[in-house]
Amino acid sequence: MARRVLISGGAGFVPSHLCDRFIADGWQVLAVDNFCTGRQSNIAHLLGNPAFELLEQDVSVPFTVAGPVAAVLHFASPASPIDYLRLPIETLQVGSLGTMNLLEIAREKQARFLMASTSEIYGDPLEHPQRESYLGNVSSIGPRSVYDEAKRFSEAAVMAWRSARGVDTKIIRIFNTYGPRMKTGDGRVVSNFVVQALRGEKLTVYGDGLQTRSFCYVSDLVDGIVRVLERGDHMPYNLGNPGEFTMLELANEISKQIGQVEIEYQPLPKDDPTRRKPDITRATTDLGWTPKVPLHEGLVAMIADLRARLAAGDA
Ligand code: NAD
Ligand code: UDP
């Protein structure tokens, strides 16, 4: 019988690609989602596939799952700043109650557990690039704290369920990932800029546009996740593409591909990290993982997807 994986947040951007990957690899996939930020259309192509099950459920509320589960991948959480600022309490709940509920399911099923943590663990980092050993520079009361602290709590819970309850656990810290299926109104920078450029609107650059991020294409991330699940150890792994770009460089690359665009400068949100770049030595050394898709290439696929969806009215 096929191994069965529970993917929380399965209708979201990254986890819907994971559903595809696990089904392609011969797994039975149970996606659990309450659709607070996810989209039916991300998984519409899987409905009716006997290898795919969908449970509409808020994972912050205790629930049970019938039948065997070999792995639990916890990806449920608002992830875009505009989403977690709109859903602050729900974000804290899913990173605390949700994580503990899913760890209990993993314990009961004797399943391996993988936590989708984030580069936000490092806050506005004072170490550059960020290694997993860096403890971070995080505000516990700023606007981003609902997300950052929820993920920090999640990591603590994972370590405790490992040591006190014997769950086989993995933690990944994901750096800014982009690709097809991001919502047109997602609010994160790559989808914002691409949608604005395709609509002939000005690109909204926050602050002076000199802050940096390192953008990972979703297929590279998915490959890293599978490697961590299969053979990673229990300490956190950074997963991201070390290519580092300012927001103005990103705007320039998108303008090269879509056509000349104007820029509208808007205020920088409070506590917006100044620089971010993963040190991926651990994932490369332990797992042989390196991202393959450079930004300009990933943007081609993302632009094609968003162009088609805008034309079809699929937000
Ligand atoms: P997303 O918003 O597209 O996906 C999140 C999914 O979780 C959505 O389908 C949403 O409906 C679901 N969800 C949220 N709360 C839930 C709850 N209480 N119960 C059930 N389902 C719930 O975001 P994404 O970018 O695909 O991110 C997925 C995961 O990866 C998140 O945990 C996020 O923190 C993490 N992550 C993503 C990135 C990135 O760059 N995309 C970076 C760091 C971490
Ligand atoms: N950003 C921007 N314009 C936008 C959206 C975001 O300049 O329309 C900036 C934002 O201030 C941040 C960077 O892009 O410095 C990445 O933002 P995003 O929301 O994608 O992710 P995060 O801040 O969580 O890394």
Residue 310: which H helix or E strand, with range?
A: helix 295-312
Pocket around ligand 2: residues whose beta carbon is below 6 Å from it?
Answer: 81, 176, 188-189, 192, 204-206, 211, 213, 247, 268-269, 272
Residue/partner pairs of 183-187 with CB below 8 Å, 24 or more apart: 183/13, 183/37, 183/39, 183/315, 184/306, 184/309, 184/310, 184/315, 185/315, 186/13, 186/80, 186/82, 186/83, 187/80, 187/81, 187/82, 187/83
One-letter amino acid at 118 equals: T
Pocket around ligand 1: residues whose beta carbon is below 6 Å from it?
Answer: 8-9, 11-15, 32-38, 58-60, 75-79, 83, 94, 98, 116, 118, 174, 176-177
For the whole model, what pTM was predicted?
0.98
- Phi-psi domain of 251 (left: phi exceeds 0; alpha: psi -120 through 50; beta: other): alpha
Active site residue 147: yes
Given the residues 122, 147, 178, 217, select the one marked as catalytic.
147
Q: What is the pLDDT of residue 100?
A: 98
> Which one of the ligands is nearest to 54 CA?
1
Distance from CA of residue 287 to its chain's centroid?
20
| pLDDT tens series, the chain, 315 aa | 679 999 999 999 999 999 999 999 999 999 999 999 999 999 999 999 999 999 999 999 999 999 999 999 999 999 999 999 999 999 999 999 999 999 999 999 999 999 999 999 999 999 999 999 999 999 999 999 999 999 999 999 999 999 999 999 999 999 999 999 999 999 999 999 999 999 999 999 999 999 999 999 999 999 999 999 999 999 999 999 999 999 999 999 999 999 988 999 999 999 999 999 999 999 999 999 999 999 999 999 999 999 999 999 877
Measured in Å, residue 13 CA sits from the centre of ligand 1 at 7
Q: What is the pLDDT of residue 159?
A: 98
One-letter amino acid at 74 equals: H
CATH T-level assignment (fold) for domain 4-175+217-240+275-291: Rossmann fold (3.40.50)
> Which one of the ligands is nearest to 33 CA?
1
Measured in Å, residue 12 CA sits from the centre of ligand 2 at 19
Measured in Å, residue 193 CA sits from the centre of ligand 1 at 20
Are 37 and 83 in contact, with CB atoms under 8 Å apart?
Answer: yes
Nearest CA to ligand 2 atom 11: 206
Q: Would you state the structure tokens that stand for residue 158, as one six-digit string?
A: 């994972």
Alpha carbon distance 276, 309 (integer Å): 30
In the chain, what are the domain boundaries? 4-175+217-240+275-291
Query: If DSSP states are collapsed to H, E and C, what string results for 35-85?
Result: CCCCCHHHHHHHCCCCCEEEEECCCCCCCCCCCCCCEEEECCCCCCHHHHH
> Atom of ligand 1 at shortest distance to CA of 15?
26
